[in-house]
Amino acid sequence: MNIDYKLLMDTAKEASKMSYSPFSRFAVGAGVLAASGKIYSGCNVENSSFGMTICAERCAICKAISEGEKEILAVAIYSPNADSCNPCGACRQVMYEFQGDNEIEIITEEMGNLEIKKMSEFLPFGFKI
Ligand code: THU
């Protein structure tokens, strides 16, 4: 499938506006392309009990999976509060769970330019049962 990286990043940017991050004041948005071709958005959702916070990537992935998606092709991540925003370790593991035969592509914006990397660059030797 031809991946529209810019569209995915625009989705992440739009979603970051919905961020609920009163504690860290660090907004994050994510755009997830599923194997069906549909794009899902997500933002970070913090909680007064800090450890309950859900990252933007996991929010978007859960939306996709709960809508019946089985596989994820690409994930774009954006924060208006950083020059670039890489996925945390927990999100990398969750992405890896839904990787199909082709490696998930991870899109970030580094100083205004799109950076496209493979899942294995972020999580080599990932764990899967
Ligand atoms: N955050 C994400 O949403 N995604 C990441 O991959 C990194 C961290 C959020 C969690 C928390 O709300 C805020 O960024 C600061 O850690």
pLDDT digits (tens, 9 = 90+) for 51-74: 999 999 999 999 999 999 999 999
pLDDT at res. 52: 98
**Contact criterion met (CB below 8 Å) for 61 and 90:** no
Ligand 1, atom 10, residue with closest C-alpha: 55
Q: Which pLDDT score, from 0 to 100, does residue 1 have?
A: 85
- Tell me the H-state helices in 31-88: 56-66
Q: How far does residue 109's CA lie from ligand 1's centre (Å)?
A: 16
Interval 37-56 mean pLDDT: 98
Confidence at residue 69, expressed as pLDDT on a 0 to 100 scale: 98
CATH architecture of 5-120: 3-Layer(aba) Sandwich (3.40)
Nearest to 85 by CA among 63, 58, 115, 49: 115
5 contact partners, CB below 8 Å, separation of at least 6? 74, 76, 105, 107, 114, 116
Q: Which pLDDT band holds residue 50 (cuts at 50, 70, 90)?
A: very high
Atom 13 of ligand 1, residue of closest alpha carbon: 26
- Is 26 near ligand 1, meaning CB less than 6 Å away? yes
The 10 Å Cβ neighbour count of residue 13 is 17
38 CA to centre of ligand 1 in angstroms: 24
Cβ of 24 below 6 Å from ligand 1: yes
57 included as an active-site residue:
yes
* pLDDT one-digit tens code per residue, 82-128: 999 999 999 999 999 999 999 999 999 998 999 999 999 999 999 99
- Across the chain, the runs of DSSP E, i.e. the strands, are 29-34, 39-43, 72-78, 105-110, 113-118
